Amino acid sequence: MPMESGYLEFFIMTRSPPADPYEFMQLLGATEMESTERNQMLEKMASHIRENSRLADKLKNHIYDDERLNKEVHQFIEKYGDISFGTSYCLNDPRAVISPVMEFASRPTPKKSLKTGTIETLKNNYLSHFHEEKRAYAAEILDLARASYQMRDNDNVYLSRIKTHVLLAIDEFKRHLEKSGKQKSENIDIQNIIEDLHENESVQQPYSERAFDQTGFKMKARQIVGQPAGPGIAEGTARVILEPSDLSKFKASEVLVCDTIDPSMTFVVPFSVGIVERRGGMLIHGAIIAREYGIPRVTGIPDATALIQSGDEVMVDGYLGIVIVG
């Protein structure tokens, strides 16, 4: 593929890899994406709350009379209202937007890991490794790679919109059936539809510590090894997300532990201190967003959502791909 051949040529010309293994990924990250733009809109609302303690108190008491905030919420819904937050659809309930915004506001403004000047420096350094007659070609390869990177992430947002409307249609269908008296909604079997929407992803049940009857001792994972996917080291309390409703329990500065980050979960990424995923790689949605905010991330741990429990204190080493529990 063109991106891979450009990367290969980069190494051939330099004769050695860059000191920072994430350097090329940072170059690709210099692209505006739907998911980051969505988070920027949430952050704008959060900043307004941070600057107004009286407004924060009102929101905690479910008083929504701030004209500016209400306007920004409705602007957000117009653009991203067909994406769900957990089990709530902001198309139906604007208050579903307020909840993640208040979590954003509960911590300082997250800093993006890359500045424009840094990106330009990386780009110039990348191009400097090519002979002059090859630099135009190298620049084209970089532009192509960035476009691919953007498309790879944006399609998750677009698919999530489709999924949300399908689920809304199912809810409406169930209401019609129940209203007609033909069938109770709880008896409608839509499991196959849900499984297809989740692309047959497996959801693991909470892990139970294995007990040894002879001794009474229990064994629990201490150090788990996966694949590094976002540089940095972080410590915090784990929050295991097994289903959308668990997102409402997520608090700022927790470590997000999940099967994989889908677009409906992107809003929690900026206020998590670290991320651990059961599956994925360097180019999946979660990795892209985590690197945008400089959040340590480890992926490829088959039993991540089973070996780690909500409330566990964990350390995430995004350099070595190690998660230490307890």
All structural domains of the chain with their residue ranges: 34-105, 218-325
Instruction: Give the per-residue SS3 of the chain.
Output: CHHHHHHHHHHHHHCCCCCCCCHHHHHHCCCCCHHHHHHHHHHHHHHHHHCCHHHHHHHHCCCCCCHHHHHHHHHHHHHHCCCEECCEECCCCCHHHHHHHHHHHCCCCCCCCCCHHHHHHHHHHHHHCCCHHHHHHHHHHHHHHHHHHHHHHHHHHHHHHHHHHHHHHHHHHHHHHHHHCCCCHHHCCCHHHHHHHCCCCCCCCCCCCEECCCCCCEECCCEEECEEEECCEEEEEEEEECCHHHHHHCCCCCEEEECCCCHHHHHHHHHCCEEEECCCCCCCHHHHHHHHCCCCEEECCCCHHHHCCCCCEEEEECCCCEEEEC
Over residues 75-94, the mean pLDDT reads: 65
Quick one: pLDDT at residue 127? 85
**Percent over 90 (pLDDT), the chain:** 16
Quick one: pLDDT at residue 89? 54
Over residues 141-162, the mean pLDDT reads: 77
Q: Which of 178-187, 282-291, 312-321 has the lowest mean pLDDT?
A: 178-187
Quick one: pLDDT at residue 310? 94
Task: Tell me yes or no: is domain 218-325 CATH 3.50.30.10.
Answer: yes
